[in-house]
Structure 1
């Protein structure tokens, strides 16, 4: 039996004690005797995240080609992209209320099959299919994100979990780079439909592989997890709000950075290079944040706060003139303002062993809502006011996200299972569990 210190400790210490003492969680699968699955699981989850992100990033990258073919406005394409994030919000809400399946891989197989069908429909009947692909893709993305979070917590060893979350979330900017690179390689010579078909093929292949997976979790533990309720508490709500404000920054940046740089005198090639460098830096930051947290658990919430503040500093610099300041601002905004995602889902899952899916469904709902609201707010301010107003609005959102994390530090659930009632009646400062 292990002791988990929870009584009069500070919030950060409680979070760390959960990480240190939960060496093996109920229902956590192992391979090869006592060796956790680890990196192969993280890599597989990252691949699924890339593929289920493509229904929003491929239309965004092919925006000009699609609009030119059908005579659509940018507003219409923006609405198609917004549908993805609103459907993601609905999917995360359903995930919060759903029981965790015994074989998580089969749920992911269904998600990849649905994504494949949506992408192929978009190529066959684009006028309706692009809307359908966005809606289906967003719904399965939002639904499966909490499931893959639970998979990482169950299959990865404690010291690897934060890095695994960083790798998973690094897959999102990797998907943007993949979609952007597919346009000149595939869409330019043969049309944008080729890129969609090429993306559908690995979705179908991945679905076949995952559908063949069998159960690996202990039945008793999984049944207990299915029955475990989880109500929103201040920790969940404040970090979900942090995800909302942070996603406003990240997705507003992704939609309007190139436009903002070109309106300030940068050429399209220079603006695209800055945006690409920012996306690459974003990947590095997400991985580095996970690695740091795995090595120094006490740095988790502090690093999360610092990333939000760095992003706010970056969006402030984007309101200033001069290519040098704009480039530095773009790197800070991308690295900090969008580099927090893996860390956020990790720290929100950590105090709720066995219920990580339902806990991270809250943060995913906040992220999805912010992802839809950010571009819409930026578009309104760019059009009705001025580009500078949009960057100041995103700066305020980044500062609000940091403030939410600071509040969350004082609201960490004191018990490893997230129910303070079990602690209030304890006679000592240590709660024992098998």
Structure 2
């Protein structure tokens, strides 16, 4: 039986013009925007050091390997946060959990600005744990507060916040860090996170919000079946591609003679396309729920085609490859979490904790593998990411069989 039919059998039928489930709180658009904003802010502890890598290395005398280890700490801490969350129920007021996460993120960024030698490690650890532990809860929040017809789009908006954070970090460094230095940028970001936590602390669960009910009292029991584990594995392989691409695309292009300006523009265009694909995929699945599985498979395959083209040297093929790799190889995230949470009503946060663990582990593994291969056999790096993309597509096919 498909996940969509499973959900329809478990939940009541939609009622009202907005398509909201009877007894469920409304306010889906505001919840989606809140989740997207929190996702942007809690993503910055990994994207700001990446964007300021050259400045940080020059200031502290760090090697690229040491900076890469700082970024890996973020994703490993995210894995730990998701692991803790997989056994937890949705708290009575998710907003308070998000406020605490923003507070921890602000503390870490402040430490990085004040004492960067140690603070950058602290920022990655606190920010990563905050990100990983809140992602499953926000997935459950979107499932419960958004009407069924816009849930997939809400997931796309949330995941589009991640490449949006990379764009913000990439723009902030040349615009602000040039005249002021990179540390004030971290300070300003810490202040924004702290300010963002204040309104969340003031919000209470809306009256009649069934998302405050413990997860174990309703819905089916969570089983680690083939569908769940296959999609979590797809998240691992897909994150290897996405984060390897984000860390080494510009370096790879410039090493083959592309100017830094052209390489940076290509990466920025890929990030914009990534945002559009995540939103577009959510819009499509919201209108055609049966397209979830085929869309995931198609995105992973498109990304694999892109990484194949990136193994070449011509500017036109590599530019097309970069766009395909960014759009497909990193445009799947919203659909993946949506597809995992859909067949587990009232246990969405536990189900998507598994997908978040897979994504976090892949996000840490991809750049590490690419770093080793780029130093020894640059061409093999893109072929390795191609194999990861094909493996992710294969996992989605296994998951589709497991859902029948």
Same fold (TM over 0.5): yes
The answer to whether the aligner puts 1:169 opposite 2:165 as a matched pair is: no
Change (3 A) 1:117 1:221: closer
The answer to whether the aligner puts 1:241 opposite 2:233 as a matched pair is: yes
The alignment partner of 1:171 has SS state of helix
User: Is the contact between residue 252 and residue 374 of structure 1 (CA under 8 Å) also seen in structure 2?
Assistant: yes
Q: 1:82 aligns with which of 72, 76, 85?
A: 72
Q: How many angstroms apart in 2 are the aligned matches of 1:291 and 1:223?
A: 29
Deviation string, structure 1 residues 132-169 (Cα, Å, up to 9, x no partner) = 00000000100000011011111111111000000000
Q: 2:144 aligns with which of 154, 178, 183?
A: 154
Q: How many angstroms apart in 2 are the aligned matches of 1:98 and 1:220?
A: 16
Which sits farther off after the overlay, 195-204 or 164-173? 195-204
Change (3 A) 1:149 1:90: same
User: Is the contact between residue 4 and residue 343 of structure 2 (CA under 8 Å) also seen in structure 1?
Assistant: no
The answer to whether the aligner puts 1:407 opposite 2:403 as a matched pair is: no
User: Is the contact between residue 102 and residue 217 of structure 1 (CA under 8 Å) also seen in structure 2?
Assistant: no
The answer to whether the aligner puts 1:134 opposite 2:138 as a matched pair is: no
User: Is the contact between residue 231 and residue 355 of structure 2 (CA under 8 Å) also seen in structure 1?
Assistant: yes
Change (3 A) 1:328 1:217: farther
1:28 alignment partner in structure 2: 24
1:221, distance to aligned residue in structure 2 (A): 6.7
The answer to whether the aligner puts 1:391 opposite 2:387 as a matched pair is: no
Change (3 A) 1:333 1:19: farther
1:25, distance to aligned residue in structure 2 (A): 5.5
Map of 1:194-233 to 2, 5 A cutoff?
A: 194-216=184-206, 218=208, 222-227=212-217, 229-233=221-225
User: Is the contact between residue 26 and residue 354 of structure 1 (CA under 8 Å) also seen in structure 2?
Assistant: no
2:101 alignment partner in structure 1: 111
The alignment partner of 1:409 has SS state of helix
1:262 alignment partner in structure 2: 254
Any stretches of 5+ residues in structure 1 without a counterpart? 1-8, 31-36, 415-434
The answer to whether the aligner puts 1:361 opposite 2:357 as a matched pair is: no
Change (3 A) 1:144 1:104: same
The answer to whether the aligner puts 1:93 opposite 2:83 as a matched pair is: yes
1:16, distance to aligned residue in structure 2 (A): 7.8
The answer to whether the aligner puts 1:296 opposite 2:288 as a matched pair is: yes
Q: How many angstroms apart in 1 are the aligned matches of 2:401 and 2:13?
A: 21
Any stretches of 5+ residues in structure 2 without a counterpart? 15-19
User: Is the contact between residue 12 and residue 298 of structure 1 (CA under 8 Å) also seen in structure 2?
Assistant: no
Change (3 A) 1:221 1:112: closer
User: Is the contact between residue 155 and residue 282 of structure 2 (CA under 8 Å) also seen in structure 1?
Assistant: yes
2:341 alignment partner in structure 1: 349
- Count residues in correspondence: 397
- TM-score with structure 2 setting the length: 0.95
